[in-house]
Amino acid sequence: MQVAFMSQHFNSGVFSGTETIRYRYVLMPDDRLAAGLNHWLGEMGFEAPPVLVKNSLCIAIAGFEATSRLEDTLSRWTQRICSQAGTFNLELNNFSAEPPNTIFLRIQDINPIRSLIGNLRKLDMYLSGNGQDPIQPAARYFLPVCESVSAKSFENLAYRLGRAEFHLKVAIQSLVLQKLIRGKWENVQRFSFSHSPVLQRD
C-alpha cells in the first residue's frame, strides 16, 4: 500500500501507540523567504500580497505511515542521518499553477533532495521489521506558496505569475518530521544538518 501523504484527510483520536499515523518529512526554507516573496509580489502590483503566501512555506519530500510507538526511534535515527548530512541550497525557478487553487515555485535541481531521501531509506528496514510500508518519496518536489486561491481569481493570478521571472537560491539547513493530527500537519521534531557535509572515506 502506498501512502498518499499529501492528502489532508485523516481521522485520528487519542494515540495509544497502536494506531497508524501518517507522517511526512518536509524541508522548511528560512522564514525570510515568505517576507521576501511578499515584498516581491507587492512590487509586482498585487494589492494584498500577504494573503498569497502561506505562513509556513515547506517542501514535502516523503511520507510514511507508522504506529506512534515507533516515533521516538524514528526520530533518533533521523537525527543521526541529518547530523551526517551537509546543508545545501535549492534554486527556486519561476511559478507554476495547479488547478483548482494552488500556486507553487518550481525547484530547478532536485538532486540534493534525492540524495537526502536516499539516506532516509535507511529507515525502511526498521519500518518493514515493524510491519509498516517503506518511505514513499513525493511524486514531485515543489514549494507551494498558496493553496487557497478562489476560483474567481485563480486564472488571473496563475497567468500573471506564470509570465513573471523569479529566481532565488535558498539555504536548506534542517528537515522537519510532521504528523497529521485531526486533518492538520503538526511538527514532531526539527533536525539540523551539519554545516558541512561529512566526508566518506573509501
Task: Locate the domains of the chain by residue range.
Answer: 20-90+113-141+170-192
CATH superfamily ID and name for 20-90+113-141+170-192:
Cyclic phosphodiesterase (3.90.1140.10)
DSSP annotation string for 137-148: E-SS-EEEEES-
Q: What are phi and psi of 122, to 5 degrees?
A: -60, -20
| Cβ pair 138, 199 in contact under 8 A | no
DSSP code of 130?
T
The pLDDT of residue 12 is 34
What is the tens place of the pLDDT at every residue in 143-201?
Answer: 988 777 777 778 888 888 888 888 989 889 899 999 999 999 999 999 999 865 444 43
Its sign, for the CA torsion 57, 63, 64, 69, is negative
3-state secondary structure of 173: coil
Q: What CA–CA distances, in Å, run from 143 to 62, 104, 169? A: 14, 5, 13
pLDDT greater at residue 73 or residue 157: 73
What is the tens place of the pLDDT at every residue in 10-53?
Answer: 233 333 457 899 999 999 887 778 778 878 888 887 765 444 55
pTM > 0.85: yes or no: no
Question: CB burial class (10 A; 0-12, 13-18, 19+) of residue 149?
Answer: buried
CA 140 – CA 138 distance, rounded (Å): 5
pLDDT greater at residue 56 or residue 195: 56
